[in-house]
Structure 1
Amino acid sequence: MTTILILYASLGAGHLNAAKALTEAFSHYPDVEVHSQDALLYASPIYRTSITQIYKQLSERIPTLYKAIYEGTDGDDVEESLDGNLSVARLEFLFFRKLEDLVTEINPDVIISVQQIPSRLIQLLKQKNNWSIPHYVVVTDAIAHSSWLNHEINGYFLPSQIGVNMLTQRGANPELLHITGIPIKLEVLEPKSKAEMQLNHNLLLDRPVITIFCGGLNTQRVKIIITDFLASATPLTLIVIAGRNETLLDAIEDLTDSEQVKLVKIGSIDYVDDLIVASDLIITKAGGLITSEILARGIPMIIIDPIPGQEEQNADVIAASGAGIQIRLPEMVAQTVIYLLNYPERLAQMRQAALASGQPRAALDIAEFILNDIQSPKEVASLVQ
């Protein structure tokens, strides 16, 4: 029996969903036992509450400061980054005493980190206890911030070639860098037809379907976008998914169908993939997981309001690939969508670019690589060339 410990940190839903996808992928293999744990549950309550609130306040309410911190801490030199991350881990370990007990109790054959906090803590625990447990890191952003880099990592799994290029330019060893994509739920591998999904969810078949994923978006900016769509003369169905935006549905309660636009307002859902398949185009932030799911289905995107830092980089990569368009002004969103609907050849090009960029097998590919890698153990290579 091979025992695998997957560690994430519940700062946003992306890391949790990546851990879930990897757990699902490993479940396809016999004699593999998977434990997926939120590392923050093994931190002191003071640290857990503080880091959660700091992340939320900075990313959602003071994005300019968040960007300054994110970019200011992204080192250009691998050796300096390794030393800096180890120093941070030594400070954090004062609040994570229980994490060592967790690893000892599970006694895993492999550890996989899908967030920076557990990744740097595990490197410290490996040094402290002289553990030889293979440790892999799954990067969940298009570009790897230097905080992802640590000592004694057996391999890094990255979304794209540009991420590999940037790390190697900084001096990282390319032998440790593997392009797999971000692990997403295996549901994206299931064949689904657009018409079937539209029928299943009572959507009109005679018009385009536009979906807005609003979790994390500013309520007033979303209301501007919806209002502009309702004024459109182009027939379409507009699906608004509030998700974790708790104020949105109340704020748009007064907005209803117009003559040409059918407005569908929904809270939280467990059928995201169905609506992705049903859509002609999706409006979203640039979270690594949701954009990876959309690309895997070959659906074009309009990206708005990415969190400064990693989501801006995600948006740049998607826009550069031709699979999406990044827009700053909410007043331009409906106008851009209508333009694309009137030029189907442009929309078709974006679909092809999305399919070319999408990596629906990422979770399976990572699981397969790791299981094969531990069958033929070798010394951990240095991250520094």
Structure 2
Amino acid sequence: MAEAIVTSRGPETAVILSVSAGTGHMQAARAIELAMQELSPATRVVTLDTFKYTTPLLEKLILGTYMEMLRLSPQLYGYLYQQSERGRLLAGTAKQEFNRLLNRFTAGKLIGLIESLRPGIILCTHPFPLGVMDALRSSGLLTGCLLAGVITDFTVHAYWVFEHVDIYIVGTPELVGEFAAFGIDSRVVRPVGIPVLPAFASQPDRTAARAALGLDLQLPVLLLMGGGLGMGAMLDVATLLGHADLSCQIVCIAGRNTVLQDKLSRMAPELRQPLHVVGYTEQVPLYMAASDLLISKAGGLTCAEALASGLPMVVVSPLPGQEERNAQFLAAAGAGVYVKKLSHLLPVLQDIFRSPGCLARMADAARRYGRPRAAYDSVQCLLQGYAAWQAVAR
């Protein structure tokens, strides 16, 4: 249980705007909401999926195209992502036109709701709603509240950067310099960590976590994840590891991918290694506490959760774009290994387990960068920023 804020009074209402593309952005919103309930219980938190307030056609066009591109042509998405980074072809005009379109079909419905809620804080965990809020503020609206954004990856993309944002919450101090390259004042950027669920601040030790989950207390645990949607090469990885000469047990969290869950469950009896298959679960903090190594793609929230758990990570099949940047960050930090080809995975794992102290060094690096209390620290930043804004407003 966190200590309640006594230095400043929170607003009556805080609005969190997110987008249900994947699960990471909504998970960050949920983490902030739970931490706010503890630290400022008098504040009502309203979390909204932004695309529920736009036209169905635009929602289908943007989210549908995004998800299909990731499924059918991830390399095209990676190319577009790179071309819209700072200084590249699509970073300026394309961003402005996209935000103009989004604002035209979304702002009208949202502004009426926001005005009725009268929030003291508006927090965005996705760049789409942040762009809409920035446009409203630049037109003279939303002057009566604090506007903040949470960057949910270990990189800063041009589509996140807006001039009227009061606070940016980011994963590491290194990102302060990336914002400076965009001309954003460093005082606006708070490197307190990507907000993970408050449960990550009070995880049990490994033995207790394994006992609670019914896992073997002696065998090392390899945790396979593909985000909340169960994406990535999870089936191929589970097959490879299940037939390998490794002394371990495998836990595979398939998320909401029921087809994958069924395939893994049918395959489990044929494998050499014990395979525990889990669908969507709220117990990710417990599973990470129980594990020795995470094998996953590199969604920002997954990486932040692993770091918060002191859990080393091997990245396989990251999505081109921000996930590749996250994988590069983990590797540079010494907390992870980026495996670019599935055929390289088993030799990498064998090297890790056979090298004395390798896993422990990776775990130490993960703990150095981990921010298990990031949700609480983010709320502290928001409440302090709100108090400072109130003082100026008076």
10, 19, 41: which one aligns with 2:20: 10
TM-score relative to the length of structure 1: 0.91
Q: Which residue of 1 aligns with 2:122?
A: 111
CA distance in 1, matches of 2:111, 2:308: 37
Matched with 1:383 is: none
Once the 2 structures are TM-superposed, how far is the Cα of residue 233 of structure 1 from its aligned partner? 3.0
Per-residue deviation, 1:282: 0.8
Deviations 1:210-231 (A, max 9, x none): 1101345667x43332233233
Amino acid at match of 1:202: G
Matches within 5 A, 1:82-93: 85-93=95-103
How has the CA–CA distance of structure 1 residues 346 and 151 changed in structure 2, closer, same or farther, with 3 Å as cutoff? same
Q: Sequence identity, in percent? A: 27
Residue 158 in structure 1 maps to residue 170 in structure 2: yes
Q: Distance in 1 between matches of 2:29 and 2:197?
A: 10
**Separation (CA, whole Å) in 2 of partners of 1:374 and 1:222:** 43
The match for 2:112 among 97, 101, 117 is 101
SS at match of 1:256: helix
TM-score of the superposition, structure 2-length normalised?
0.89
Alpha-carbon distance between aligned partners in 2 of 1:12 and 1:328, rounded to the nearest angstrom: 22
Structure 1 residues 192 and 312: alpha-carbon distance in aligned structure 2, compared to 1, 3 A threshold: same
Contact 1:82 1:150 in 2 (8 A): no
> 1:86-126 CA deviation, whole Å, 9 max, x = no partner?
54332222221211111111111111111111111111222
Q: Which residue of 2 aligns with 1:376?
A: 388
Greater displacement, 371-380 / 150-159: 371-380
C-alpha distance in structure 2 between counterparts of 1:253 and 1:98, whole Å: 44
Distance 2:140 2:200 in 1: 40
From 239, 251, 255, the equivalent of 1:239 is 251
2:3 matched to which residue of 1? none
In the aligned structure 1, how far is the partner of 2:121 from the partner of 2:191? 20
Q: Which amino acid aligns with 1:124?
A: A
The residue that corresponds to 2:66 in the other structure is 55
Distance across 2 between alignment mates of 1:159 and 1:15: 14
Q: CA deviation at 1:260?
A: 5.2
Task: Give yes or no for contact 1:276–1:297 (8 Å, CA) kept in 2.
Answer: yes
Which letter maps to 2:132?
L
Measured against aligned partners, the alpha-carbon deviations of 1:295-326 in whole angstroms (never above 9, x if no partner) come to 10101111011111111001100110000001
Q: 2:240 aligns with which of 228, 246, 254?
A: 228
2:328 partner letter: D
Whether 1:23 and 2:33 are equivalent positions in the alignment is yes
1:1-385 alignment to 2 at 5 Å? Answer: 1-28=11-38, 29-76=40-87, 85-96=95-106, 97-132=108-143, 133-215=145-227, 221-257=233-269, 261-377=273-389
Change (3 A) 1:103 1:203: same
In structure 1, the gaps of 5 or more residues are 381-385
2:53 maps to amino acid? Y
Give distance in 1, aligned partners of 2:271 and 2:385.
Answer: 59
- In the alignment, is the contact (CA less than 8 A) between 1:228 and 1:331 conserved in 2? no
Deviation at 1:54, TM superposition (A): 0.9
Q: What are the Cα deviations for residues 62-91 of structure 1, in whole angstroms up to 9, with x where unaligned?
A: 1111011111112339xx967764543322
Q: How many positions carry a matched residue from both structures?
A: 377
Distance 2:129 2:341 in 1: 37
Q: CA RMSD in A?
A: 2.3
Change (3 A) 1:280 1:121: same
Aligned equivalents of 2:392 and 2:324: distance in 1? 36
Q: What is the SS of the residue equivalent to 1:168?
A: helix
In structure 2, C-alpha distance between the alignment counterparts of 1:62 and 1:122, rounded to whole Å? 31
Once residues 376 and 224 of structure 1 are traced to their aligned partners in structure 2, the CA distance between those partners, rounded to angstroms, is: 52
Which stretch shows the higher mean deviation, 261-270 or 122-131? Answer: 122-131
SS of match in other structure, 1:27: helix
Offset, 1:187? 0.1
Q: Residues 3 and 305 (structure 1 numbering): CA distance in 2 closer, same or farther, change over 3 Å?
A: same
